[in-house]
Every structure is written in C-alpha cells, then in structure tokens.
Structure 1
C-alpha cells in the first residue's frame, strides 16, 4: 500500500482512457455511417475507397454525357426524317413536272413548290442544333467522353447537308456543283426532259446521303444506349464494393458502443473506490499515532 502513487487508481484510469477512446470511435462510426473516418484508421482501406469513389463519380458524369449523346442523336434523327420527307415530296413534284400534260403555268407552279420545299429543307439544316452545337450544317467531329478513364470515348462525325453540299458525288466523294440541290433550285428548267432526268438524279443522290447518315446516327444512338446500360451496371457494382470497404456495420458498432459504455461506467465506479485507498493509509497512520 503506497501513499504517493495510487497504482490501482492509475491502472484503472489507464484502462478507462482506452475504453473512452474506443467508445468515441464507435460513436463516430455510427454518426458518420463509415468505419474508416480518418486515414489513420485504415490507410490502405481509405486509399482503395477513394480510388473507387473517383471511378464512381467519373461513371456518373459519363452517364450524363452519354444521355446527352442519345438526345443529340434523337434531335438529329428527327430533323433527318423531316429532310427525307421533303426530298420525297420534291421527287414527286419532279416526276409530276415530267408529265406531258402539264402546261407552262403548271410547270411554274411545280417549280415554285419545289423551291419552297428546298427553302424549308435549308432552314431545317441551318436551325438544327443541340445546346448550340450545329448538327447538320457543319463538317465536324466531336468526341464524347463515355467512360471514367482516359481513352473511353465515342466520336461523332457531323456532315454538312446544306443545299450546295448535297447531291451527286464526284469520284473523290466531293459534291458535283452542277448536280447539287442548290443547282436544282436555282437553274434547272423542268420544262426540259434532260433537266427532269438530272433533277431526279440529284434528288436520289441527296436522299441516299440522308438515308446513310440517318442509319449511322441510328447505330450511334444504339451504341450510346448500350454504353449507358453498361455504365449503370459498372457503377452499381463499384458502389457495392466501395460500401463493403468504407461503410460501417451499424449493428456491430452499436454492440461496441454499448460494451464500452458499460466499461466506462464500471471504470468510474472503480476509480471512486480506488481513490479511497490513500484514506485507508491515513487511518492506519492515525492508529499508529494513537498508540
């Protein structure tokens, strides 16, 4: 029994401090829902978790990019459908102009309607855009980031469908300026049989260009949709793995919190008892002095 150092009380206090720290840690895990709050609690664990979170955030943003790509392709497809309908009507009018029963006034009216249809065609080409990006009036290529990592992207090629950019192609795939929709609108005389044949050739070539582009955009839209579905599955799997690593088991933490809480109360009670030991020494000394 010692007077200067109450070793029993010091030992109890040391264990009490450890228990108090464990209780605070369990409470922190319960309140945050994470079993690794600070990097010091699990350096390797938090490194894995943070890398997964980077991937998850990247995949979430990529899904938004892909959704924008789908919307862009749907916008382009809607306009291409309208252009195709216009050219179908123009072709009907050209064939009608080739009828030998038409007088000069009839042919002028047909030519006027063709010009109006082609003006509407050109207006659609100029006005079709998505978030300020021209879709049918520029020769361009855009890169859409479709994944969380470098190199995961999809290229979108835009084609200029203006009146002077669509028509019969030369061997080098450039548009023959004498056989373009612009030439059809401005100079072709539908009263001449040779111009009727030339007009049909131009309209058919333009229709084929639009059909090909619409087919490519349709395939690209399907690619965006499949990419979106895959990204959703990858994100869900990664979040599940990250949850196993980072999220706290609340039931387990509650057990730890309750256990340490009982030990803290027991430690307080024991320290009260152990702090009475010096008083016992004093009582012994008092008995010695009284003798």
Structure 2
C-alpha cells in the first residue's frame, strides 16, 4: 500500500519574467515596514524636540519678564521702607510716592506687554487652561504650562500707597507678599523648563538609538538582497549546469545512435553483398 502523501508546504523557487522569487522569503516587505515605522518615529521626535525648544524659549521670555517685575517690586519695597520713617522730608515723600506709582504702572505694563508669538503670557490668560506643548511623537503626549497672572491686581498691589507713613508701613508687608508670588512663579517656571529639557534629552537619546537601529535594518536589507542574489545565482548556475549535462548526454546518445546505425548499415550491406555473391535458392 502506498503511504499518505505529505501536505507540508515545500519552499518553491521560481524563475519569472521579472527575475526570481521564493515563497517563504518575505524579508524585504517586513524589513521595509519596520524601517518606515522607525523613520516616522524619528521624524516625529525631531518635530517634538522643536516644539520643546519653542516651549523653553516661551518660558525664558516669561522668566525675563518676572525678573524685571521682581526687580521693580524690590525697589517698591525699598521705597516703602523709606516712606515709613517720619524723618523723611515732605518734598522727598512726594517724589518717592510718585516713583512708587510709576513703578506700579511699570509692573502693569510688563504683565500686559509680555508676549510670545503675539500671545500675552502673564496677564492671566493661561492661569486655568494652560499652554499646551506637544512633546512626543504620538497622540496625547502633551505638557501644559499654567502661568499665573502677574498684574498689579493679582499681586495685590493695585491700591498700595506710600503717601503716608502708616500706609507705607503696610505697603512693606504687601510688597513682601507680591515678591513671594513672583518668586514662586519663577520657581514653577524653572521646574517646567527642567521638565522640558529632560524630555528633550530623552528624545535625543531615543533618536540616536533609533538611527542606530535604522542603520542595522539597512544592513539587514542589504544582506537579504545578497542572500537572494546568491540563491538566484546558484539556482541559475545549477540550471545551466543541468542544461549542459543534458546537451552532452543528448549529444553522446545521438553519436552512439549514429554509430549503431552506421554499424547496422555496414552489417546489412555486408549481408547484402554476401547474398548477391552467394545467392540462396
């Protein structure tokens, strides 16, 4: 009895009009898909890195504004200390009070005019709904920067006056509170900046790693092509070798057949000659 025929698929190498193929070799398409995904990730991370740098520049713009506000508020506190003393002459008191009011207006102007790409930053627009910075190559990878209002009303110094001694004494505490708010905001922004810088450093490392992987994949693609080329070369050589062998065998068989035919003809002719010379009746 015959055994059951195996149904196991055997790799088939075929010569086609375009070249050759092997049913179980799909390396090119797999490697290409992986390579494209990695390349897309690298490009996405590069764009995210650009976003991060923009976010850092935005934070630095705010920090410069807060540094100015802090310096102005510090000067206002010094004026309040001077105005709290009764030893100050009246004409100096009026001059210092005018300077104090001018510094209030300066803080208000800084809070209104500090902008980044035409976006006012420290006027309270982004206190609740922060500025979104997309920091990743994929969806939902965001960091929100919540920026407090830094105008004179938010700092509670809108109605502060140093015209009188007792007012000036109260102004010292109010300026302390304002300076604390500014310092807290500066610290918060430094934290944001450190966060963004660490994220960007991580991106740069990831990009370098992905680029190394991409180079390895390119090397794998080259090796796959070399392997396929060798398979094709070996297959073609084997086929040509087989054709040469077949031609040689055919030639030998033909020659042997011709030889046999010649011998047969010679034998027949010899017999015919004998028959003619010695006829049999």
How much is the aligned-residue C-alpha RMSD, in angstroms?
A: 4.1
Q: Offset of 1:49 from its aligned partner?
A: 2.7
Match of 2:114 among 128, 145, 166: 128
Q: Which residue of 2 aligns with 1:238?
A: 210
Q: Aligned pair in 2 of structure 1 residues 122, 191: CA closer, same or farther (>3 Å)?
A: closer
Alpha-carbon distance between aligned partners in 1 of 2:118 and 2:27, rounded to the nearest angstrom: 45
Q: Offset of 1:96 from its aligned partner?
A: 1.4
Alpha-carbon distance between aligned partners in 2 of 1:133 and 1:239, rounded to the nearest angstrom: 36
Q: Which residue of 2 aligns with 1:76?
A: 62
Alignment of 1:54-93 (within 5 A): 54-93=40-79
Unpaired runs of at least 5, structure 2: 1-13, 248-260, 266-281
Q: Which residue of 2 aligns with 1:159?
A: 148
SS in 2 for 1:147: coil
Q: Which residue of 2 aligns with 1:173?
A: none
Q: Is the 8 A contact 1:20 1:264 kept in 2?
A: no
Q: Offset of 1:20 from its aligned partner?
A: 5.1
Alpha-carbon distance between aligned partners in 1 of 2:33 and 2:227, rounded to the nearest angstrom: 27
Q: Which residue of 1 aligns with 2:159?
A: 183
Q: Which residue of 1 aligns with 2:256?
A: none
Q: Offset of 1:166 from its aligned partner?
A: 1.1
Q: Which residue of 2 aligns with 1:229?
A: 201
Greater relative CO (CA pairs within 8 A, separation 6+): 1
Do residues 197 (structure 1) and 169 (structure 2) align?
yes
TM-score (ref. length: structure 2)? 0.68
Alpha-carbon distance between aligned partners in 2 of 1:203 and 1:36, rounded to the nearest angstrom: 71
Q: Offset of 1:249 from its aligned partner?
A: 6.0
Q: Is the 8 A contact 2:49 2:135 kept in 1?
A: yes
SS in 2 for 1:164: coil
SS in 2 for 1:155: strand
Unpaired runs of at least 5, structure 1: 1-14, 23-34, 168-179, 276-287
SS in 2 for 1:158: coil
